[in-house]
Amino acid sequence: MENFNIQAFIPLFYLVWSDDNLTDIEFETLKSFINSQTWLQEKDKLYLLTKIDKQNPPTREEIIGWKNQLETIVQNNPNISSIFDIIVDMSTASKTALGEFKNDFLQLENDLGVLGEEVVSQFKSKINLATSKSKTASNFDITKITALLNGDQAEIIDKVKKVISQPEFAYYTEESISSYRDKVYEWCKILANENFGNMAFPKEYGGGDDILNYFSIMETLSYHDLSLVIKFGVQFGLWGMSVQLLGTKKHHEKYLKDIGSLKLPGCFAMTETNHGSNVKGLETTATYDHQNKTFIIQTPYPNAQKEYIGNAAVHGQMATVFAKLIINNHDYGVNAFIVPLRDSEGNVLNGIKIGDCGPKMGLNGVDNGTIRFDNVIVPKENMLDRFASVNEKGVFESPIPSDNRRFFTMLGTLVGGRIGIPRSALAAAKSGLAIAIKYGDQRKQFGPDGESEVPILNYRIHQRRLLPHLAKTYAVHFALQYLTKRFVSRTEADMQEIEALAAGMKSYSSWSTTAILQECREACGGKGYLSINRLDRLKNDTEIYTTFEGDNTVLMQLVAKNRLSEFRKSFGKMDSVGLIQYVYENAKTVFSEKNPIATRRTDEAHLLDKQFHLQAFQYREKSILASAAKRIKKLIEDGLAAYDAFNVVQHHMIDVAQAYLERVTLEQFLFAIDTVEDKAIQAVLEKLAQLYALAQIEKNKAWFLEDGYLEPVKTKAIRKMVNQLCWDIRPDAVALVDAFAIPASCLAAPIAFQEQK
Amino acid sequence: MENFNIQAFIPLFYLVWSDDNLTDIEFETLKSFINSQTWLQEKDKLYLLTKIDKQNPPTREEIIGWKNQLETIVQNNPNISSIFDIIVDMSTASKTALGEFKNDFLQLENDLGVLGEEVVSQFKSKINLATSKSKTASNFDITKITALLNGDQAEIIDKVKKVISQPEFAYYTEESISSYRDKVYEWCKILANENFGNMAFPKEYGGGDDILNYFSIMETLSYHDLSLVIKFGVQFGLWGMSVQLLGTKKHHEKYLKDIGSLKLPGCFAMTETNHGSNVKGLETTATYDHQNKTFIIQTPYPNAQKEYIGNAAVHGQMATVFAKLIINNHDYGVNAFIVPLRDSEGNVLNGIKIGDCGPKMGLNGVDNGTIRFDNVIVPKENMLDRFASVNEKGVFESPIPSDNRRFFTMLGTLVGGRIGIPRSALAAAKSGLAIAIKYGDQRKQFGPDGESEVPILNYRIHQRRLLPHLAKTYAVHFALQYLTKRFVSRTEADMQEIEALAAGMKSYSSWSTTAILQECREACGGKGYLSINRLDRLKNDTEIYTTFEGDNTVLMQLVAKNRLSEFRKSFGKMDSVGLIQYVYENAKTVFSEKNPIATRRTDEAHLLDKQFHLQAFQYREKSILASAAKRIKKLIEDGLAAYDAFNVVQHHMIDVAQAYLERVTLEQFLFAIDTVEDKAIQAVLEKLAQLYALAQIEKNKAWFLEDGYLEPVKTKAIRKMVNQLCWDIRPDAVALVDAFAIPASCLAAPIAFQEQK
C-alpha cells in the first residue's frame, strides 16, 4: 500500500495549493489529519507533511503535474463523482481495502470546506479553450429539426415558401413609398389568388376553414417583407375576421367571399388619436335613427379621428368601425359597424375624410391613415350584430347585458391578432439570427499573434450576444405553438386564461424580437447598417410590434391582473387576508424543503438538470405573484384606492407577467423536446433549453439572491455555465439557424451567404 | 404622566399589528416588557396588555388612527429619527423626565428586531400617492440649468442654435436619397461659411484654434439632422484633422484653408471591408517608387477596398488613405497618404473606383461609399509625414521605431472623434427624452373609475422607463464635459488613460442613447413610430454610433485592458501573483470595514447619501478589476495562451470597463453639482444624481449581492427608492428637458408641442 499512501493525498495537495485563499487553519487541519491516520507509516507521514509546508511550496511544474494526473483520471472515468472515487482510482489497493477509509476522507473534505462534486467537475469540464479551433460542425440532420418546427403545418409552410420565392416577390428597393404600397398590394392579390387570405374563413364562403394554417401562413410570410404580412393581416385577419366573428350570416354572405379574394379591400378602424390603449374610451359615435333605420357615424372632434388605420390611406373600400352606439341619447357602449369609405374606383365617399399617416419608421408598404366621419349614414344592417343589435322597434338587444363585458367579449373574439403578431415577430427574429450567426461564422477579425484571424463567432462575447437569443427563439417557437393550439381548442371556461396568455406571449415575443434584432444589428457592425443586409427593415418593421395589437406594457399589466385573479380563484373562498399570507408562506415552505442543498449546489449535473430549471421558474412565478398580491392588499388596507395601489406596483406587475411567461415558455420547450426521438436532435435541443433556462435565471438572479432561493456561489456557477453552453453550442449555431429553412431569396442579405474573400 | 403611559406604546402597537409577519415570540417580548416596567401602574399595564392580545386585535380603524397620529408627528418634526423621539414628542412629560427610560425602549426595539430609523422613515415618506394628482410644476429657474450645461461654450452654442433655426435648415422630408445628400452638403456649406467647420484649425489657416468650441458645435448641431453632423464631422473632423494632425506644415498650407471652407471636400479612408475593428490589419498598399518619388496606391483584392467611407460616394475630392507603406518589399506598417479621388468638377479620376454603400438604416444624407485603388500614383509629398517619412535617399524614417507603436500613436492623435461622437449621441438622447417626456406629460390614457384620464407620465412604469434615463443623460453630460477637458489639457503622460476614457465614454454614451431612444419610441406608442415625430430618424441615425469610431464591444475590451495595466502599474514592481491577491483582499478589507452596518442600512438618509453611492461604485470598480486580473492570471497559469485567456473573460471585461465608466460618470456629476450655488437647482440635480446612482446600483444589484456588499433587505429598499425618486422627479421632468434648450424648429416633433385635444 506504499504507493497508495502517497497517491491518496494528491487530490488534497492539489486542492490546498491551487486555492489561493486557503487559510492556515486549513493547512493545520490537513496536518492533523495526516498525523492522526494510524494506517500511515511514520516515514509516509513525514514525507506527506513536507508537501504541505508553507515555507516550501511545491513548484509550479509539480502542481501542474498533479493537475494533469487528476484530469486524466476524471476524464477517463465518467463515473467518478467524489474525491474518494479519485483516490480509489489512483490507488493500487483493492476497492474493498480502501472502503474502510472512506469516512475519514469524507470528514476531511468537510473539515476543509470542500465540495467533492465541485472539485471533480472542475477536472471534468476540460473543454477545448483555444479560440481559433472552434468551428461550424455538422452534428445532426437539420431537416429533422425543420420538420419538428413545422409540425402538422409543414405542407402549407412549404407552399407559402414556394410562392414567396418566386421572382415576382423580389424585394421592393426603390425609394417611393407610394409605389411600395402598390407593390405590397399586388403581392397581397397574388396571395389571395393562392387562397392564403381566406384560409380561416368558412368553406361556404370560399375559405379553407383552417385557422392553424392561417397562422402558419402569417408566420411564414414573415420571412418575406413585413409590410406584406401586415397588409395581409389587416385585410384578412382584422377586416375579414371582424366581419366573420362580430357579424352574422347576412354579413358573411355579403362580404366574406370578396374580402377573401381581395376584391373588397377594407380596414379595421378601432384606434383613435386620443384612445389607443384605452379603447373602451373611444369617442366616435354611431347614432341610431329609427325613422330611417340607419346609423349616423360621426367623429365628434378632430382627435377622436381613427388613426394608424391600415389600408385606409389608399386602398380600403370599407371599414369595420368601432363606435359608441347611441339610441335616444342613451350610450350603449362601443359596437362595430361596417362603413364604406371609397367606391370601387377608389374615390373617397362623401362625409369621409382620409388622412395619410405619412412616412413611418417602418412598414412603409402599408398605407396607414386617419379617418374622420362627418355625418356618414349607413343602413341598419351594417351593424355587426353577433353580440348586440337594434331590434325592429329600435330597441337595443344583447345576450350580454353589461356594456363593459360585451365590449371585452367582442375584443376577446379578436384575440387571434395577438397570436399572428408574435408569430410574425418570431419569424423576424429567426431571420435576424440567421443573418447575424451566418455572418459571425464567416467574418474574421483579430487572431492569436502571428496567426490567421478568427471568426468573430468564436469570441465569447459574440456568442453571449447571439446564442442565448437563439435558445430563446427556439423556446418561444414552441410556446407560440402551444398558444396557438390552446386558442384553437378554446372553451368559454379557459377563454380568459388564453386571452391573457396571448396578450403575454405577444409582448414576450415582440420584445424579444426587438432585443434580438438590436443585438443582430450590432453584431453585424457596419454591414448590419446597410439596408441590403435587411436588418434595417427587420428591425424597423417589427419596432411597432411592441405597440400595436396592444402596447406591451399595458398588456403585461393585464396579464399580471389575470394571474392575480387566477391566484385568488384557485384558493376559493378563504379570507383573502390570511389566504395571501398562507400561500406566500406555503410557497416558501414547499420550495425551501429543497433549499439547504439546492441553494448551493453547483455541480454540472445539477446546473443542467431540467427539474432544477423548471422548479426555479415555478418558484419565481409563484413567489412574485404572491408577493405582488400581498403588496397590493397592504396598499389598499393603508387606504389607497385600488387604481393608485396598482399604479404603485406596476413595476412589480411586469415581473409577475414575465415570470409566468418564462415558466410557460420553458415548460413548452421541454415538452416539445420530450417528443423528439432522434438522439442527436434531442441532445442539441436540450442544450438550447438549458441555455434558455440558465440565461433567464441569470437575468433574474438578483431576484433569486434577494429571495434566498439561490446563493452567490450558485449564481456565479450559473454565469459560468451560460458561457460554457454558448461555447458548446457555437459549432451547431449555423445548423440551428439553417433549420429554420428560410428561403434564400427571402433571407437575401449578402452577408448571410458571401464568402468573406 | 398618565397620558404618556399609554401614548408611549402607540408606535410599538402600530409596529406589532401592521407587520403581518410578527411572531408569537415578539408578542411575548412586548408583554414581558410591559410587565417589567416598574414605572407603569398596574391598571395601565392591564390596559396596555389588552392592546396586544392576539385574540382581540384592534380594528382596522384603530390601526389607521395610530398610523395617522404617527405620520402627523413625524412629518411635523423633521428632526425625529428614532421611535423614542416619537414617544418624547407624543408625551406630555418633559424631555428630561423621559430620558431615563430611553435605554429601556432602545433595548426593546432591539429585542423586537426593529430598526428605529427605518420605522421613522416609513412615516416620513408620506408622499402623495394619488396617480391623478401628480403634475408638472415649476420649481426652479430653467435658464440656470441651461447655463450650467452650456458652461463656457454658451456663446458658440447659442450661435449654432441660431443658425440651425433658420428657415433654410427646415428638415429634408422628401424620399430621394440623392437630393437628401445634396441638401446636407448645402447645409455644410452654410456652416462652413459661419466658420464652424474650421473652428479647431490653426488661426493661420483661417481657423478658430478652439477645439472646445468645435466639440460644442458638433454637439449642438446634433439637435438638428444627424446626417448633417456626420457629414460635417467627416469633412472637418476626420478629413481636416487627419491632415492637421498627421500632416506637416506643407500639408497645412496646401489644404487646411480649402478644407475649412469646404472648397475641398474630402474623406477619411481607413476602414476596409475585411478590416474594421482590426485596423492594424489593413491591406491597401502604398508602394514607394524611389525613381519617380511617388507612391503607388493599390487595393490588392476586392474585399480590401475601403468601405463605409463618408463623402466618398458623391462629394469627396480627396481622401486621407491609410495604407501599408512598402519600400523595397519591406512593409513599414500602416501610414497615411493624401490621395485625390475626383477633380474639382466631381469627375472620378483614373484608377479610382467608387462604389455606393446604398441605402442605410439611417444617416442617408451622408454619401458613404467604397473606394478601390488600381495603380494610383501620388507624389511623395502626399505622405502625411508627422510621424514617419521617406527621406531623400528613399529610406524610411520615424522618431517612433516600432511600426505598431507608431500606428497607435497616429490613431491616438485622432481620438477627438471619440469625443465628438458620444457628445452627438448625448444630444440625440436629449432630443428623444424631450419628445417622450413632453408627450408623456400631455398624453392621457386611462384614469380612476369615473374620473378624467391621467397623463401617462403619472404612471409609475412610464416614469421608470424614462426618468432614470433622464438622470443618466444629465450624468453623462458632465462626464463628457470632463472627458473633453481632460483631452484638451492632455500630456503625453496621461494620453493612454484619456484614450481609454474616450473609447469608454464613446461606448457608454452611444449605448445609452440606443437604449434611451428605444424606450422613447415605445413610450410614445404609435405616435413614436411616425417619422414626423423624429424618433425614427434619431433612433436610426444614432444606431451606427455604437459601431463607428470603433465597435463598442471591442472598445470596451480595450478600456478594460487599459484598466488592468493601470492596476498593475499602480502597484509597481511587486510580484504579480502575490500582488493581485493582495489588492483583492485589500479592497475587500477596506470596504468591508464599513460593511456590518452598511450592507443592511435602509434608512432614507443613507440610501440617498452620495458618499454611499460613490463608495459602492468605487468598490465595485476595484473589486471587478481585481477579480478579472486574478482570473486571467489563473487561466494563464493553467496553461492558456493570453489571447485565449482574454477570450474566456471577455464578458467579465465588459463589466470592468462598465464599472469604471459608471464611477467616472457619477463622480463628475457630483463634482458639477458641487459648483452650483442656486439651492433649487442644486436640489433637483441632487435628486437626479441620486436616481442615476441608485438606478445603476439596482441594475448591478446581482453583483453587489453576490459580493456581499449589499444584503437583500438593502437592494429591495433601493428598488423602492428608485421608484420613489422617479415619482418625486416627475413634476420637474418637463422643466429638466426644457433646460436642454433645444430649438423648437429642431425638436420639431408635433407630439412635443401639441395640446392633445
Cβ–Cβ pairs < 8 A, chains A and B: 230
Please give the Cα distance from B277 to B555 (Å, whole number): 9
Q: Take residue B694 and report the three cell numbers written for it.
A: 441608485
Task: Decide if B706 and A723 are in contact by the 8 Å CB cutoff.
Answer: no
Task: Decide if A521 and B543 are in contact by the 8 Å CB cutoff.
Answer: yes
- pLDDT computed for residue B593 by the predictor: 47
Please give the Cα distance from A26 to A34 (Å, whole number): 12
Amino acid identity at B344: S
Taking CB atoms and an 8 Å cutoff, what residues of chain B touch A303? 756-757
Phi, psi of B728 (to 5 degrees): -70, -35
Q: Which residue has the higher pLDDT, A600 or A739?
A: A739
Q: Which of A30-39, A80-89, A589-598, A666-675 has the lowest mean pLDDT?
A: A589-598
Q: Which residue of B has its CA nearest to A132?
A: B644
Amino acid identity at A469: H
- Give the mean pLDDT of A519-545: 98
Confidence check: pLDDT of A635 > 90: no
- The Cα diameter of chain A in Å comes to 116
Please give the Cα distance from A100 to A465 (Å, whole number): 51
Taking CB atoms and an 8 Å cutoff, what residues of chain B touch A634? 20
Task: Decide if B531 and A360 are in contact by the 8 Å CB cutoff.
Answer: yes
Q: Take residue B746 and report the three cell numbers written for it.
A: 429642431
Question: Which of A131, A634, A706 minimises the CB distance to B716?
Answer: A706
Taking CB atoms and an 8 Å cutoff, what residues of chain A touch B644? 129-131, 448
Q: Which CATH superfamily is domain B266-412 in?
A: Butyryl-CoA Dehydrogenase, subunit A, domain 2 (2.40.110.10)
Write out pLDDT tens, residues B565-604.
888 776 544 444 544 554 555 555 555 544 556 677 888 8
- Give the mean pLDDT of A141-150: 98
Sign of the dihedral through C-alpha A466, A471, A474, A477? negative
- Give the mean pLDDT of A129-137: 87
Return the percentage of chain B with pLDDT > 70, whole number. Answer: 91
User: Using an 8 Å Cβ cutoff, are A500 and A558 in contact?
Assistant: yes
Q: Which residue of B has its CA nearest to A531?
A: B360
Phi, psi of A321 (to 5 degrees): -105, 130
Sign of the dihedral through C-alpha B627, B630, B636, B638? negative
Q: Which residue of B has its CA nearest to A702?
A: B702
Q: Report DSSP letters for A48-83, one per residue.
A: HHHTT-TTSPPPHHHHHHHHHHHHHHHHH-TT--SH
Q: How close is the nearest chain B Cα to the Cα of A389, in Å?
A: 26
User: Using an 8 Å Cβ cutoff, are A271 and A241 in contact?
Assistant: no
- pLDDT computed for residue A589 by the predictor: 52
Write out pLDDT tens, residues A255-271.
999 999 999 999 999 99
Taking CB atoms and an 8 Å cutoff, what residues of chain A touch B708? 712
Please give the Cα distance from B269 to B303 (Å, whole number): 14
First-to-last alpha carbon distance for chain B, in angstroms, is 62
Q: Any bridge partners for residue B354, and if so which?
A: B371
Q: Take residue B380 and report the three cell numbers written for it.
A: 511623395
Q: How close is the nearest chain A Cα to the Cα of B204, in Å?
A: 37
- Locate the DSSP E strands across A573-626: none
- Secondary structure in 3-state letters for B101-170: CHHHHHHHHHHHCCCHHHHHHHHHCCCCCCHHHCCCCCCCCHHHHHHHHHHHHHHHHHHHHHHHCCHHHC
Write out pLDDT tens, residues A280-331.
999 999 999 999 999 999 999 999 999 999 999 999 999 999 999 999 999 9
Task: Decide if A277 and B525 are in contact by the 8 Å CB cutoff.
Answer: yes
- Give the mean pLDDT of A466-478: 98
Please give the Cα distance from A608 to A720 (Å, whole number): 12
Task: Decide if B131 and A449 are in contact by the 8 Å CB cutoff.
Answer: no
Question: Which of B360, B639, B723 minimises the CB distance to A651?
Answer: B723
User: Using an 8 Å Cβ cutoff, are A104 and A84 in contact?
Assistant: no
Question: Grid coordinates 419608421 are at which residue?
Answer: A361
Task: Decide if A532 and B358 are in contact by the 8 Å CB cutoff.
Answer: yes
3-state secondary structure of B734: helix
Per-domain residue ranges of chain B: 2-126, 266-412, 417-752
User: Using an 8 Å Cβ cutoff, are B227 and B184 in contact?
Assistant: yes
Please give the Cα distance from B228 to A321 (Å, whole number): 43
Taking CB atoms and an 8 Å cutoff, what residues of chain B touch A532? 358-359
Taking CB atoms and an 8 Å cutoff, what residues of chain A touch B449? 643
Report the helix count and the strand count for chain A, using DSSP H and E. Answer: 34, 11
Confidence check: pLDDT of A677 > 80: yes
- Give the mean pLDDT of A396-408: 90
Amino acid identity at B176: S
Task: Decide if A522 and B301 are in contact by the 8 Å CB cutoff.
Answer: no
First-to-last alpha carbon distance for chain A, in angstroms, is 63
Q: Which CATH superfamily is domain A144-246+254-260 in?
A: Acyl-CoA dehydrogenase/oxidase, N-terminal domain (1.10.540.10)
Q: Which CATH superfamily is domain A266-410 in?
A: Butyryl-CoA Dehydrogenase, subunit A, domain 2 (2.40.110.10)
Question: Which of A445, A647, A706 minimises the CB distance to B715?
Answer: A706
Taking CB atoms and an 8 Å cutoff, what residues of chain B touch A599? none
- pLDDT computed for residue B579 by the predictor: 47
* Mode of pairing for the β-strands spanning B294-298 and B376-379: antiparallel
Task: Decide if B529 and A551 are in contact by the 8 Å CB cutoff.
Answer: no
Question: Which of A445, A449, A648 minimises the CB distance to B278?
Answer: A445
User: Using an 8 Å Cβ cutoff, are A70 and A10 in contact?
Assistant: yes
Assigned CATH class of A417-752? mainly alpha
Q: Take residue B198 and report the three cell numbers written for it.
A: 474650421
- pLDDT computed for residue B90 by the predictor: 75
Please give the Cα distance from B455 to A123 (Å, whole number): 59
Q: Which residue of B has its CA nearest to A276?
A: B445
Interface mutation vs chain B, best among A647, A720, A721, A755, most B CBs within 10 Å: A647
Taking CB atoms and an 8 Å cutoff, what residues of chain A touch B757? 274, 301, 303
Residue A236 per-residue DSSP state: I
Please give the Cα distance from B17 to A186 (Å, whole number): 70
Q: How confident is the model at residue A662 (pLDDT cuts 50, 70, 90)?
A: very high
Please give the Cα distance from B674 to A643 (Å, whole number): 40
ipTM for this model? 0.87
Task: Decide if B361 and A458 are in contact by the 8 Å CB cutoff.
Answer: no
Q: Which residues of chain B have a pLDDT value below 70? A: 1-5, 18-24, 60, 78, 92-97, 113-118, 121-122, 124-128, 570-598, 754-757
Taking CB atoms and an 8 Å cutoff, what residues of chain B touch A553? 461-462, 465, 522
Confidence check: pLDDT of A587 > 70: no
As a dihedral over the C-alpha atoms of residue A298, residue A301, residue A303, residue A309, rounded to 10 degrees, the angle is 20
Confidence check: pLDDT of A188 > 70: yes
Interface mutation vs chain A, best among B22, B466, B647, most A CBs within 10 Å: B647
Q: Which residue has the higher pLDDT, A579 or B223?
A: B223
As a dihedral over the C-alpha atoms of residue B614, residue B616, residue B617, residue B623, rounded to 10 degrees, the angle is 140
Say how many CA atoms lie within 13 Å of B236 toward its Cβ.
34
- Give the mean pLDDT of A632-652: 89
Average pLDDT, rounded, for chain A: 90
- pLDDT computed for residue A90 by the predictor: 75
Q: Which of A28-32, A198-202, A721-725, B117-121 has the lowest mean pLDDT?
A: B117-121
Interface mutation vs chain B, best among A172, A181, A361, most B CBs within 10 Å: A361
- Secondary structure in 3-state letters for B367-424: CCEEEEECCEEEEHHHECCCCCEECCCCCEECCCCCHHHHHHHHHHHCCCHHHHHHHH
3-state secondary structure of B41: coil
Taking CB atoms and an 8 Å cutoff, what residues of chain A touch B658? none
Q: Take residue B629 and report the three cell numbers written for it.
A: 486580473
- pLDDT computed for residue B53 by the predictor: 79
- pLDDT computed for residue A73 by the predictor: 81
Please give the Cα distance from B116 to B595 (Å, whole number): 19
- pLDDT computed for residue B84 by the predictor: 79
Q: Which of A61-75, A582-596, B121-135, B484-498 has the lowest mean pLDDT?
A: A582-596
Taking CB atoms and an 8 Å cutoff, what residues of chain B touch A177? 175
Q: How confident is the model at residue A756 (pLDDT cuts 50, 70, 90)?
A: very low
